[in-house]
Chains A and B, each alone.
Chain A
Amino acid sequence: MSIWELANPVRFMRLSGRVLPYVSVLTIVFLSVGLVWGFFFTPDDFRQGASVKIIYVHVPLAFLAINIYFMMFVTSLIWLIRRHHVSALAAKAAAPIGAFFTLAALISGALWGSTTWGTYWQWDPTLTSFLIMFIFYIGYIALWGSVDEPDKAADLTSILCLIGSVFAILSRYAVNFWSQGIHQGASLSLDKEENISNVFWLPLVTVMTGVFFLFLTLLLIRTRTEIRNRRITALQAREVL
């Protein structure tokens, strides 16, 4: 089956309904194991002490917050080029999840910063681009809510999403190339030499997998809701006629 066939709402509802229970179970398993492991069974860092435990919530949520925006970028592009409604609805469904994850990463990051940097906030390039990305999430959600005509709303929000993706890219890569700020480099790297120790890395990857499955679960639930809402609107319009 081609991926474009999933753009058919009926097929998407059928397939997502079948996948959803499995993804939900994987979310619960990975999140439970990862969070308990990270909080109760990992040692303190020799420099950061017990505050290193914040890594198990901050890094997965920040990582997903940025990548949810990339997912929205791709689905918005698909909408603009191929006009597949499910892709526009998937972007709409993902935005509140991304906004909540970004807010959680901002709060946990500020609390982590207060112990390691001695300040909750600084206008560092990584932090600032991440905050701007959060504002784009809010603007994106507000724009969807303020335009009545669905296709027009999808067009406008897709364009807004493409513009905001600059800040998502900055947030993603600023930790690697922008050395002026106080934010440390990426906690995870494909280069084994640059990675954090396995005692922190393994539970962190477990939580990240759990947060990814959580996003997938919420995305499926919310996209299904958006499709149902479209159907409700169509039926109500038919009633009026």
Chain B
Amino acid sequence: MIPELGRYAFSVLGAWGSSIGLVLIITVISIYRAKVSKAALTALEKQHKGK
């Protein structure tokens, strides 16, 4: 099941690891920013309706 990478192990695992890692970072940042801005807007709109 586990592929035999031999002397290419560093390159293959490095390329896969860095690519998946960077994709995960931008995904997490995007979701986090979305949550923060949604919460801020909801709070601000509530505040405005209360006025």
Contacts and interface: CB of A to CB of B under 8 A. Distances in A.
B11 A104 contact: no
Given A100-B26, A228-B41, A40 B15 contact: no
Summarize A's interface: helix, strand, loop or mixed: helix
Contacts of B1: 40
Given A57-B19, A112-B11, A235-B48, A97 B26 contact: yes
B30 A232 contact: no
Contact of A108 (B18, B27, B33, B45): B18
Count chain A CB atoms within 10 A of each CB in B8, B18, B34, B45 and give the residue with the most.
B8
Contacts of A57: 15-16, 19-20
Given A50-B8, A53-B12, A111-B14, A100 B23 contact: yes
A225 B5 contact: no
Interface in A31-64: 39-40, 49-51, 53-54, 57-58, 61
Interface residues of B, number: 35
A214 B23 contact: yes
B44 A235 contact: yes
B34 to A, nearest CB: 5
Given A112-B11, A235-B44, A53 B19 contact: no
Contact of A39 (B4, B16, B30): B16
A218 B6 contact: no
A222 interface: yes
B15 A108 contact: yes
Interface string A198-241: 00000000000000001000100110110011011001101100
Interface residues of A, number: 37
A187 to B, nearest CB: 15
B15 A49 contact: no
Contact of A221 (B18, B19, B31, B44): B31
Nearest to A211: B23
A3 B25 CA distance: 32
B30 A221 contact: yes
Contacts of A50: 3-6, 8-9, 12
Contact of B6 (A49, A107, A111, A214): A49
B34 A221 contact: yes
Interface of B: 1-12, 14-16, 18-20, 22-23, 25-27, 29-31, 33-34, 37-38, 40-41, 44-45, 48
Interface of A: 39-40, 49-51, 53-54, 57-58, 61, 96-97, 100-101, 103-105, 107-108, 111-112, 114-115, 214, 218, 221-222, 224-225, 228-229, 231-232, 235-236, 238-239
Given A49-B7, A115-B11, 4 more contacts: A50-B4, A53-B5, A57-B15, A112-B15
